[in-house]
Amino acid sequence: MKRFEGKVAVVTGGGGGIGSAISRRLADEGALVVVSDGNLDAAKFVASEIEDAGGSAVAIAADISQKDTGCDLIAEAFALRSRIDILVNNAGINRRGNLLSLTEEDWHMSFAVNLDSMFHLCRAAIPHMIEAGGGAIVNTASQWGLYPAPNHIAYNTTKAAVAAFTQNLARDYAPNKIRVNAVCPGEILTPMLEAGVKRSGRTIADLDKLAPFGRIGKPEEVAALVAFLASDEAAFMCGSLVEITGAQAVA
């Protein structure tokens, strides 16, 4: 089943762990995927993997913490086929620390990448979706935005804001048939998580043992959920914050 045949999808952080899995999944199901990342080599690698597998993808470098770069990304993506059907706001950073140990730069950069980017990209993309009669936006929040883990006040606060942003955007643009939802992953095995685990002196095996499911999550499992939310199968889902945690939050 090719749920995204003829559609154009933009994925931010498309060169990273979860973003590359989302990009591959949407392309497998027929979308032309704009794999965007601040790291152009990573985006190019994912786009070429997709092309090698018979899919369609274009790599575009964009530091989405910058308003102009984010707007240019949407303009370049729209220029490909005069449409943007799906926007996946997935890029994020995780600056560890409590209120006193974080720097002001950590705080502001966390908001710039994790939240402000969504404001700019959605403002650029939504007029195209309104004109087309609808669209789907999937934002990556986090389990920690709903149930904060210690020592991540900046990250957790941005993710709580992403959840609120998602619900507000959904409420405002539901009449335009733009469905806005968020995924709230628990611990997923990606470079971001591996970096955090290394800093804390633990191992992935430690996390697997602590998880009620016996293991942490895989990027492909989040990608499957994002694809569902972006698809017509989720036609009445709008404003939902969908947790994908293997019951980590209820342990």
106: amino acid identity, one letter: D
Of the candidates 3, 30, 39, 51, which one interacts with ligand NAD according to CB under 6 A? 39
Piece of the chain touching ligand NAD by CB under 6 A; list 13-21, 23-31, 123-131, 199-207: 13-21
The terminus-to-terminus CA distance of the chain in angstroms comes to 36
Of the candidates 190, 231, 240, 248, which one interacts with ligand NAD according to CB under 6 A? 190
185 in contact with ligand NAD (CB under 6 A): yes
Q: Which of residues 75-134 bind ligand NAD (CB under 6 A)?
A: 90-94, 113
Q: Rounded to the nearest whole angstrom, what is the least distance from the CB of residue 165 to ligand NAD in the complex?
A: 13
Of the candidates 8, 9, 125, 142, which one interacts with ligand NAD according to CB under 6 A? 142
Q: Which residue is nearest to ligand NAD (CB)?
A: 16
The number of angstroms, rounded, from the C-alpha of 99 to the middle of its chain's C-alpha atoms is 26
Residue 83 burial (C-beta neighbours within 10 Å; 0-12, 13-18, 19+): middle
15 in contact with ligand NAD (CB under 6 A): yes
Q: Rounded to the nearest whole angstrom, what is the least distance from the CB of residue 82 to ligand NAD in the complex?
A: 24
Which strands, in side-by-side order, build the sheet including 241-244? 56-61, 32-37, 8-12, 86-89, 135-140, 178-185, 241-244
Residues with catalytic annotation? 155
207 versus 238: smaller Cβ distance to ligand NAD: 207
192 in contact with ligand NAD (CB under 6 A): yes
17 in contact with ligand NAD (CB under 6 A): yes
Return d(Cα 41, Cα 57) in angstroms, integer. 14
Q: What is the C-alpha radius of gyration for the chain, rounded to an integer number of angstroms?
A: 17
What would the DSSP string read from start to end of 85-108?
-EEEE-------B-TTTS-HHHHH
Q: Considering CB under 6 A, how many residues would be counted as binding ligand NAD?
A: 30
Return d(Cα 244, Cα 48) in angstroms, integer. 29
2 versus 108: smaller Cβ distance to ligand NAD: 108
DSSP 8-state class, residue 68: H
- Least Cα distance to 187 among 230, 243, 225 occurs for 243
Q: Which residues bind ligand NAD (CB under 6 A)?
A: 12-13, 15-19, 37-39, 42, 62-65, 90-94, 113, 140, 142, 185, 187-188, 190-193
